[in-house]
């Protein structure tokens, strides 16, 4: 039988794609980590990683195992937390998934409010992109998700908790960053645009398209990426400009400047980034209404609205 320790080791190596980094993350040395992976591969009778002297890659079997391994670890952690809560007479556990930007903009305030209002509740946090959150909520491994709005998902309920605007990310020493006036999208027409991937980041992809259409500008798209930290890294490398949420200032490198888009630009009427909280219509967890009520009660401390709307 495979063990949870083996799965935790596998997940660490699969996410880091480096045995040394995975061992450091797990606070162990590399030899026992390698043994755990070898034992897991023997148990499953298949190779999970393709190893060379320079790199580590997941095999097709490894890619197939990764989502199931994550679910098993999450379920195990939730089971342990549930038993401990019952033993203490506590209310239970709530698993919250969140996007990378929600982790910067909303999660700290939410956790601070919950520590006071729900002191006996165990909150399990999982960073996921929106599509992964939807799948996890529908499967019951996540109770609520902080995600980008969905066009149609009848199994889920949702409502907005955070709104902000997109700003232009450019190198801090670029001519664009030296201007005093707010940026108009027409100013970006000759700039290589780093665009959101339509598969991984459909919400941001469509929002940017609507902004450029509203401004009558046809951007020169040079690269697609799915995550905001990746876009900021590409901007920092001098590969182009990007439009990112204002909350990205919390993770923005010093070499990148974030410039507001002019309120006089035609795109301003659609320049709204929304973060929703979503949950299953069929949820049986009584803590879901409790966390929703907490957000309502905390108002400005938890449901931050950067637009003041």
Q: Residue 119 has what pLDDT?
A: 83
- CA–CA gap between residue 38 and residue 288 (Å, rounded): 41
Structure tokens belonging to residue 118: 């729900």
pLDDT tens digits, one per residue of 248-271: 998 899 999 999 999 999 999 999
Flag whether pLDDT at 293 surpasses 90: no
Flag whether pLDDT at 174 surpasses 90: yes
Sorting pLDDT into bands at 50, 70 and 90, what band is 308?
very low
59-68, 115-124, 195-204: segment of lowest average pLDDT: 115-124
Flag whether pLDDT at 151 surpasses 70: no
Note if the pTM is more than 0.85.
Answer: no
């Amino acid at each position: 039988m495979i063990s949870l320790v083996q799965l935790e080791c596998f997940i660490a190596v699969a996410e880091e794609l480096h045995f040394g980094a995975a061992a450091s993350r797990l606070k162990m040395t590399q030899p026992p980590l390698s043994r755990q992976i070898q034992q897991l591969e023997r148990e499953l009778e298949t190779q999970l990683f393709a190893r060379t002297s320079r790199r580590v890659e997941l095999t097709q079997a490894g890619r197939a195992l990764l989502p199931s391994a994550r679910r098993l670890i999450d379920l195990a952690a939730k089971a342990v937390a549930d038993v401990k809560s019952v033993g203490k007479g506590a209310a239970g556990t709530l698993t919250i998934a969140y996007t990378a930007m929600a982790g910067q903009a909303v999660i700290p305030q939410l956790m601070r409010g919950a520590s006071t209002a729900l002191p006996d509740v165990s909150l399990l946090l999982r960073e996921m992109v929106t599509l992964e959150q939807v799948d996890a909520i529908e499967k019951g491994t996540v109770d609520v998700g902080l995600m980008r709005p969905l066009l149609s998902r009848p199994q889920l309920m949702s409502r907005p908790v955070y709104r902000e605007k997109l700003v232009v990310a450019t190198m801090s020493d670029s001519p664009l960053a030296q201007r005093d006036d707010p940026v108009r999208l027409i100013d970006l027409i000759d700039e290589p645009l780093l665009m959101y991937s339509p598969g991984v980041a459909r919400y941001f992809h469509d929002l940017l398209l609507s902004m450029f259409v509203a401004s009558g500008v046809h951007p020169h798209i040079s690269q697609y990426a799915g995550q905001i930290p990746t876009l900021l890294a590409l901007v920092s490398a001098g590969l182009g400009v990007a439009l990112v949420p204002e909350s990205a200032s919390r993770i923005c490198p010093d070499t990148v400047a974030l410039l507001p888009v002019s309120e006089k630009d035609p795109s301003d009427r659609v320049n709204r980034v929304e973060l929703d909280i979503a949950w299953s219509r069929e949820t049986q967890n009584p803590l879901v209404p409790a966390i929703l009520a907490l957000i309502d009660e905390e108002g400005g401390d938890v449901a931050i609205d950067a637009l003041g709307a």
